[in-house]
């Protein structure tokens, strides 16, 4: 099964200059809790933005080039693996847009901000395809730039 997890601002921005455009510790904790022990799938540019592999998770990178520092797969290989394993698609923009049609569950955090000059965007969640199962508003903690809203969407 494919699941997806991302954080976006009020305009759908998820990235800027190859990185996350906010400091949002509460969301990072949610991301860690949700994905720990699972397999995470990411595009090569998101992989390049990480200082090291995400610990406690099988890290798979989608790229057109092979590399020796991480497990690399094609889109088709990830589709094949999703038939037997639970996979979390963790970005970035190119990879979300490829897999949204095939995802069963989406965890979306809406960051209560409007980032200027964002260059990478979240996929649209079509309400004909997904239903909102839960939603929780959380005020910014001391290590968060903004308030946020945690949503869980399930395929209809
Ligand atoms: N807010 C969030 O939740 C969140 C989460 C993750 C990432 N981000 C942000 O998103 C940005 C990165 O996203 P991005 O869209 O620029 O890049 P990306 O989706 O992370 O990676 C793009 C790369 O994936 C590979 N790829 C794409 N389509 C492919 C295909 N059909 N077959 C094989 N490989 C394919 C290519 O790698 P090669 O060039 O190696 O072939 C491509 O350059 C960063 O700013 C990051 O911080 C935000």
pLDDT, one tens digit per residue, over 86-111 is 999 999 999 999 999 999 999 999 99
Question: What DSSP character marks residue 10?
Answer: T
Band of residue 65 on the pLDDT scale cut at 50, 70, 90: very high
Our mutation pick for probing the ligand 1 site, out of 35, 46, 72, 90, counting the most ligand atoms within 8 A of Cβ, is: 46
What is the per-residue pLDDT for 33?
Answer: 98
- How far apart, in whole angstroms, are the C-alpha atoms of residue 83 and residue 80? 6
What is the per-residue pLDDT for 95?
Answer: 98
Question: What DSSP character marks residue 37?
Answer: T
Band of residue 51 on the pLDDT scale cut at 50, 70, 90: very high
- Architecture category of domain 2-155 in CATH: 3-Layer(aba) Sandwich (3.40)
Band of residue 38 on the pLDDT scale cut at 50, 70, 90: very high
Look up residue 142 and give its two tokens: 């001391």
Q: What's the whole-number average pLDDT of the chain?
A: 98
What is the per-residue pLDDT for 138?
Answer: 98
Question: What DSSP character marks residue 46?
Answer: H
What is the per-residue pLDDT for 97?
Answer: 98
Band of residue 112 on the pLDDT scale cut at 50, 70, 90: very high
CA 137 to ligand 1 centroid distance, Å = 28
- How far apart, in whole angstroms, are the C-alpha atoms of residue 149 and residue 142? 16
Q: Kindly list the domain boundaries of the chain, sorted by start residue.
A: 2-155
What is the per-residue pLDDT for 146?
Answer: 98
Q: Give residue-wise pLDDT tens across range 120-137.
A: 999 999 999 999 999 999
CA 83 to ligand 1 centroid distance, Å = 22
């Amino acid at each position: 099964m494919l699941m997806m997890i991302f954080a976006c601002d009020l305009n759908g921005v998820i990235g800027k200059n190859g990185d996350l455009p906010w400091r949002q510790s509460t969301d990072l904790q949610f991301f860690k809790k949700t994905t720990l022990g699972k397999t995470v799938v990411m595009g090569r540019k998101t992989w390049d933005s990480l200082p090291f592999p995400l610990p406690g998770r099988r890290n798979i990178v989608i790229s057109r080039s092979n590399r020796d520092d991480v497990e690399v797969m094609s889109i088709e290989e990830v589709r094949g693996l999703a038939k037997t394993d639970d996979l979390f698609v963790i970005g970035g923009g190119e990879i979300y847009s490829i897999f949204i049609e095939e995802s069963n569950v989406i965890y979306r955090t809406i960051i209560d901000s409007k980032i200027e000059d964002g260059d990478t965007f979240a996929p649209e969640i079509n309400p004909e395809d997904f239903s909102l199962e839960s939603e929780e508003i959380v005020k910014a903690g001391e290590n968060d730039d903004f308030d946020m809203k945690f949503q869980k969407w399930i395929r209809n």
